[in-house]
Structure 1
């Protein structure tokens, strides 16, 4: 234990020393534009014929970013962007030439979706720090996409309220955009200096052009922002909005029908120019996307994707360090009932109700990011039945609980930060409490050629007893040029446990990792790009010291100039593995023979109506008959710009795998099993227009397991055949889900969703069931049929104030916005809005 910690501290010291040595000046040229203030707002209709556009400054001379990095844009694709501002916000008028305007690609998608489309992209950074930006995209079909971008990490769950319109003409197409100040964050200063970059996607040749040139050879995209000058004496309006909702559900399950009506509200308040409060009152997540459930035979729980909007939007600060797994809030109860003789559990809740939750997040002028998250969950009970008297009682399995996160993230330089994260869970009474704290360093030298990182975390849990665990690591990466290398070391003690508000699986290890990569920086020959990657990972158990695994991995990726993607790889564990997790008992391990794994994949051109992804993945173990074959096929067909279909089938055939089965007295029972899994999914979308869509999602998961032999695990990791274990462990599991959803964005920020859901599952202690009988058994199970309607409406405080207060001139920018909209020429003419 002492050696790894000393190694890490030494590595961190050397890394910091290297960073200090590397901090030499390497200025990156930044394009600049000075924009004027206007007094009359243009109408957002896709026609740049308003007077304000006539003499507006022009951002031009776009440069190719992909695939031919640095090449000047052709005159036939000349792209000019006019930019102006007023008391209300900032306006963009982009003119994009196209020699064949009738061939402009304009596939319709739902909001926040980009398909086979040309698009125009704005990246705005109110603090001009080259690290955090707001992203606004409008496609040639008029569909909006927006996101928060932090060091190229994109959070597309954020939805801003902004206005856009597009128009295709004889010379190409035009995008006209208005972004209100209420959607932006900028310092409270008289003179503003913002970061800006803009891009154009020319989809027919899949080329991307940016206004401020980007060097693909090093650094992240955001460090190449240009700058906007000329914005003076603007105020951020009162940022207060409400989103009340009402929802109704009719659920039918196992012959019982219930009707549920809910109401609640989301609230967003700008505490000052930088910090925002988000709060959800009486939440309703009944229309969230279904989970992709599986038959889990591993030693760890399945980590599901978060689909609840409140927990996906604006969480870039809270995901620092991976201490926050939002599914814990409102997830499974932490307790389990104490059963007396002749008692059984009649109903154990699968989730805990959320009472309310809020987030406060923002960043100061000094680039200190601060985030606070808090949520409170309801008391939850299990139903216990006495099998002799048929009497029932309730037992508390989750008390009133508080979940809290504090994040401090100090950024400096172009792309560096030091962060502190603390998570805390407090449950009333004698239930489990937990705390986790992490420190993180992420440094990039000024030349943007090397990145250095280190982390240290501690976890504390109080249940029947107390335990404390640690995690840490450090590493360095060359992030520039054709040749990339990295090395790192990570460790985690056996008592490290962040599972009350985070997710941790493997513990009690130390890992040494190395990487070498080679890539094309420019197209060459018949290839647009090429990536070759080599990885080494060496794992050992910490307590007590034991070899765990050594993995060599090679993977590759190629894209031709006709946009055919393909690649493959090879992996091997030449010394086998001592698996310390599969036995489920501390101190034990099972020997896993060495294997080699080869795979290949191909992805056809997504510009075509029919496109396909195919992956073949094969594992062969150094053990007779043991191996695994994985096949995945994902064709998609675009019937028209409005109708498209996506299909996926995934087949996993595993022979003679060995895994944990049971604990019997002091024996750990393993079994040899064959496992076959088939996952089919279908998604179909019909997009009526850029506000209205119909979406069908279907998934069927099937997995069967058949055991042939059972073994007792020995202390040396070997398996000894156990002919006396005769439990039937064969199993077949099915999960079936259908969602049919109609969505309508009927006003900015406001949405109506009508959802029909059908779901069922079954688990049988049997295998090798034929196709027909399997579905007969599945459809004999109780089905959930649910029809729900949810309507949410976006209300802005400034608009409400204008409705109910006197319409008079004030210094409030947003009230001015409302008065401006009353003019005939105002952009808010509903006939011309494109949301």
Structure 2
């Protein structure tokens, strides 16, 4: 089967390369820029000599909400662009008839609040698929991301420079983007994709330099072109980021301290490919996981919080075969215990030794990604309760994880990809491999999209277990009326859980979507989306109807930027749940439900913003239903201080589900479950480099069983007995992070973090408020104070430290310029 995938990939690649030569289907707006000999000072003022003879980009057009409308003269926007051997420079002048009302809320880096902003998209390969995005807000805050076919990866961080200034005409912004942060082919004459936009927050309008047609295709296919960049000498792309961290931890009356050090390395192998490596990792300051009481048949999938695994991973996300939390996650092994033995500890994670990734794209559009990570041996301690003797048991050996990705782009928004993941464990532990091939094709007119893919999984333990997943679909992606038809299947033994995440298996699913949308404001509405969805799912082996879902959902935005919507969903003939029994071949009958919901959020431009959701499920079973309420107000006290609250309530009455295994039966229970989550977020931003952030979350969930049943072979329940409180549960989780961050130089950060966390699990329900919190705070608490300092070192700068006293004048100017930027710490 793997040979079949490789042959298919090579066939698709040959076809793709042939189609790269097709004539562009969308006209390109162009600008030709000139070289400068003396760089401007990046302070937001456009008064340097470098700007005097610069070409000017103008003619911005509204992208939203009134698509295609020329920008008014009162908001006229012009951008000067020049380049030198260091990088490319942008100087934007944005008129505003009321300069004192320009929106400029301070946020942390990579945050955009209630701000006007200016942004640049640069595509060094000019393939209309992936661009580097650089945004500076009117408050001087930087935001950067990789944009692929209209989707942002904001975890990517670059080292670049910006400044803003205000005058009686409006505001201005300057950007300097070094070539080291861009990717482009090595050739004497460059032709890059370029898009620039301005956000005018007071009216919620967005203006683009190169006109965008919202009626079809993704945003990225409307890039213009930038010409004139010739004979540039790109610098050596080598940087290191050493760090030092120290922790003061107190848990259960015991205080410990530790000091750690390590380094991240980034090296440009050539103009196209980059090596990222993490040496001696430290993830102690990552954000806490939002833990829950999980009663489902599947594990909880948590978001990745570690920067190395979130930055620049767009290639590795192809096909969804990579769930990075597996690397350094919970051990896979188990321990066999005798009746007189018990586990003294069981680690929630294994130690990561190191990790690296190599990624890039050739001039022909072939993207190549390679990821590798190695984790440490992990042991548990087993104690004999009778003798008191202990022993160590290996539950996770040295483990190597790797991924190889080949992704050939062609046309405006098409690609074919091959992905292989592998997990190899030392000794006689479980190994695994998964391979996938994918085609994503958009027609020349950008009106239809076709996709297909297939993955094979192989798990090698005692025997080899092989599984298959396949999917295919077609979408109409243009006009007011849009449609999508797709199908997906997974065989029973499909398993990518060693390095990916797969939950439900053994099914085939058919799905159809019809969408009606507004392309231009109409009446009191700025936009509207009406979606009609149908899903039919069956078990594969043996064949069994699983569920039929009919769904309608809607979204509206008024011209005053009030957003609201709602919907209705039903499973009219009920569900045969093949996963809740936890035993292969059985199923559980769930009656039909009728779900209706409403939501709204007020104008995000205002100081006070309120978001609310009300969702009600009613089942074809007396007394059974779910009520979900979510309420989230936020208030902006000033351009520096913002506070946000959120309360989520889920009340489930007479829910039925798996409880336990009996000797010859499966025990189910009827239960009431109440879950309340309260969150608090606060930000005080001192300036565009320094901020204080508070994140608090309290999660509470109680489960009370009233009746028990056994599961019959036909999926029905047979009465077993009333509740004896044995399985009642109350779970609390408490997390508080108070973080001070200071970006004291480009790419360099100091973070001081205080963390308080605890949780409690009790086999009882219906505790009163006082006793619940008493039980929670009687548990051992984590109190941690940590300081982490990282410093970005670029090869060009370090080389200057050891340079001879009399370097060539041109080189001295170049290195002095970079060094001055680093010392000043300009944004």
> Which TM-score bucket, shorter chain as reference?
over 0.9
Residue 199 (structure 1) aligns with: 197
- Offset, 1:391: 1.9
Residues 481-526 of structure 1 deviation map (CA, whole Å, 9 limit, x = unaligned): 0000010111000100000000000000000110100000000000
Kept after mapping to 2: 8 A contact 1:237/1:814: no
Q: Is this contact kept in 2: 1:452–1:476, CA < 8 A? A: yes
- Secondary structure, aligned partner of 1:670: strand
Determine the C-alpha separation between the residues in 1 that align with 2:82 and 2:48.
12
Q: 1:828 aligns with which of 817, 821, 825?
A: 821
Counterpart for residue 818 of structure 1 = 815
Q: Which one of 778, 795, 798 corresponds to residue 797 of structure 1?
A: 795
Counterpart CA distance in 1 for 2:253 and 2:439 is 56
Taking the aligned partners of 1:359 and 1:26, their CA distance within structure 2 comes to 33
Task: Kindly report the root-mean-square deviation, in angstroms, between the aligned alpha carbons of the 2 structures.
Answer: 1.8
1:802 Cα deviation from its structure 2 partner: 1.0
**Residue equivalent to 1:217:** 215
2:155 matches 1:157: yes
For 1:578, the equivalent position in structure 2 comes to: 576
Q: Distance in 2 between matches of 1:494 and 1:816?
A: 65
Aligned residues of 1:386 and 1:392 also touching (Cα < 8 A) = yes
Alignment of 1:69-218 (within 5 A): 69-218=67-216
Residue matched to 1:425: 423
Alpha-carbon separation, structure 2, partners of 1:685 and 1:66: 29
Name the counterpart of 1:740: 738
Tell me whether 1:731 sits opposite 2:729 in the alignment: yes
The secondary structure found in structure 1 opposite 2:798 is helix
Q: 2:725, 2:764 within 8 Å by CA — same for their partners in 1?
A: no
Equivalent in the alignment of 1:380: 378
Structure 1 residue aligned with 2:716: 718
The TM-score normalised by the length of structure 2 is 0.96
Alignment of 1:256-335 (within 5 A): 256-335=254-333
Quick one: distance in 2 between partners of 1:779 and 1:224? 56
The residue matched to 2:74 in structure 1 has which SS?
helix
CA distance in 2, matches of 1:290, 1:386: 35
CA contact (8 A) 1:142 1:834 kept: no
Partner of 2:6: none
Residue 32 in 1 paired to residue 30 in 2?
A: yes
Q: Does residue 1:443 correspond to 2:436, yes or no?
A: no
What is the distance in 2 between the residues matched to 1:814 and 1:570?
Answer: 66
Per-residue deviation, 1:699: 0.1
The residue that corresponds to 2:452 in the other structure is 454
1:215-257 CA-to-partner distances (Å, cap 9, x unmatched) read 0000011111011111000122100000000000011000111
The 2-side partners of 1:809 and 1:106 are apart by 43
Equivalent of 2:235 in 220, 234, 237: 237
Shift of residue 417, structure 1, vs aligned partner: 0.2
Equivalent residues of 1:241, 1:794 under 8 A apart: yes
Which residue does the alignment assign to 1:8? none
Count of residues in correspondence between the two structures: 813
Matches of 1:57 and 1:51 in 2, distance apart? 13
Counterpart secondary structure, 1:828? helix
Does structure 1 conserve the Cα–Cα contact (< 8 Å) formed by 2:431 and 2:459?
A: yes
Q: Does structure 2 retain, via aligned residues, the 8 Å contact 1:612–1:634?
A: yes
The whole-number CA distance in structure 2 between the counterparts of 1:294 and 1:571 is 25
TM-score by length of 1: 0.96
Q: Which residue of 2 aligns with 1:56?
A: 54
Higher relative contact order, chain-length normalized (CA < 8 Å, sep 6+): 1
Which residues of 2 match residues 375-524 of structure 1 at below 5 A? 375-524=373-522
Asked if the contact 2:745–2:823 (Cα under 8 Å) also holds between the matched residues in 1, the reply is no
Q: 1:24 & 1:561 partners in 2: Cα distance? A: 41
After superposition, the C-alpha distances for 1:741-788 in whole angstroms (9 at most, x for unaligned) are: 000000110000000000000000000001111001101000000000
CA drift at 1:462: 1.1
Q: How big is each residue's C-alpha offset from its partner over 1:31-79, in whole Å with a ceiling of 9 and x where there is no partner?
A: 1110000000011111111111112100001000000000000000000
CA distance in 2, matches of 1:33, 1:405: 40
SS at match of 2:718: strand
The residue that corresponds to 2:3 in the other structure is none
Cα separation, 2, equivalents of 1:494 and 1:650: 36
What is the distance in 1 between the residues matched to 2:232 and 2:325?
Answer: 40
1:420 shift after superposition: 0.3
- The CA distance in 1 between the partners of 2:22 and 2:587, in whole Å, is 50
| 1:559 alignment partner, SS class | strand
Q: 2: CA distance between counterparts of 1:24 and 1:745? A: 46
CA offset at residue 463 of structure 1? Answer: 1.4
Distance in 1, Cα, partners of 2:190 & 2:23? 25
Superposed, which structure 2 residues align to 1:637-652 within 5 Å? Answer: 637-652=635-650
Q: CA deviation at 1:830?
A: 5.3
Q: Residue 770 of structure 2 corresponds to which residue in structure 1?
A: 772
